Amino acid sequence: MEVKIEAYGDSALLVKFSSDFLHSQNRVRFFRRCIERSLPTGFLECVPGMTDLTFYYQPLQYSFFSARKELLRWLAETPVITEEDVRFIEIPICYHSSLAPDLDFVAASHHLSTDQVIALHSSSVYEVQMIGFAPGFPYLSGLPGQLATPRRATPRLRISPGSVGIAGTMTGIYTYETPGGWQIIGRTPWVLFDTQRNPPSLLQLGDRVQWRPISLDEFMSYMEMMK
C-alpha cells in the first residue's frame, strides 16, 4: 500500500493513497480500522474522507517530520478488516409517496415505473463508504446505475430524519432535520444517530446494507414503538 503524507496546517497530516488502493474493497475496511485503533501518543483524532485520512496531532510534541515518521509506523501496523468482520444490516424503508417526494421524478428521469425504482433500489447490497455531512449520515455505494440521479436544482430547506435519498451514484440517509438537495425516494423509521448509544452512529465504515421495503402502516407502527 503506497501512501503520501502531506502537512495539513501546523498540527495535522493528510494521508493520500494510490488510485489502485482507493478503488479496492480494502480502502473502506482499512479506513475503519484506523478509526477504531488507538492512535499513537500525541495524536488526537483521525478523520476519514472519501479518499484520504486526516490525522491531528499535538504540535508541541511533534514536528512535521517526527509526526510523519510515527504515523508511517502506525499505518504499517494497522490490519485490514477481513470479510468475516464485515457487518450486514437490513434496514426497513417505506417508499410510500407521502414519504418519497422525489420518487416519481427519479422514475420519470429513467423511464421507469415507481415499482421498478423500488425493486432496483431495494435489491442491491450497499456499502458504507463514508460518514459525514451531518452526524451519522452514511454515504452508501452500490446504487444500480439505472437509478443514478443528480441532486435537486433547488435544495429543500427541511428534510425529515430517516429520509433516504439519491445523489449521483450514492444513496444516503438523513439523520437530522436539515436542508438538503438529495432526491428523496423513501424513509426509514430507524434512528441512525443517537448520542445515548455507544457508538452513536448505527452504521460504520464498511458495513453492508440492504433495504427491506415496508408499508406505510408498518412504518407508522415502527414510529409508535420508538416514541
DSSP 148-199: -BPPPSS-EEEE-TTEEEEEBTEEEE--SSEEE-SEEEEE--S-SB-TTSSS
pLDDT beyond 90 at 167: yes
- As a whole number of Å, the end-to-end CA separation of the chain is 47
DSSP class of residue 201 equals B
Confidence of residue 20 (pLDDT cuts 50, 70, 90): confident
| Distance of alpha carbon 54 from alpha carbon 132, whole angstroms | 14
Pick the CATH number of 3-84 from 3.30.1360.40, 3.40.50.12280, 3.30.310.50, 3.90.70.10: 3.30.1360.40
Tell me the pLDDT band of 105, cut-offs 50, 70 and 90: very high
Q: pTM (2 decimals)?
A: 0.80
What pLDDT does 227 receive?
Answer: 72
Q: Indicate if the pLDDT at residue 204 is higher than 80.
A: yes
Domain ranges of the chain: 3-84, 87-225
Domains 3-84 and 87-225 share a fold: no
Rg (CA), the chain: 20
Quick one: CA dihedral 227, 194, 212, 189, positive or negative?
A: positive
Whether the CB-CB separation of 177 and 86 falls below 8 Å is answered with no
| Residue 206, pLDDT above cutoff 90 | no
Please name the CATH architecture into which domain 87-225 falls. Beta Barrel (2.40)
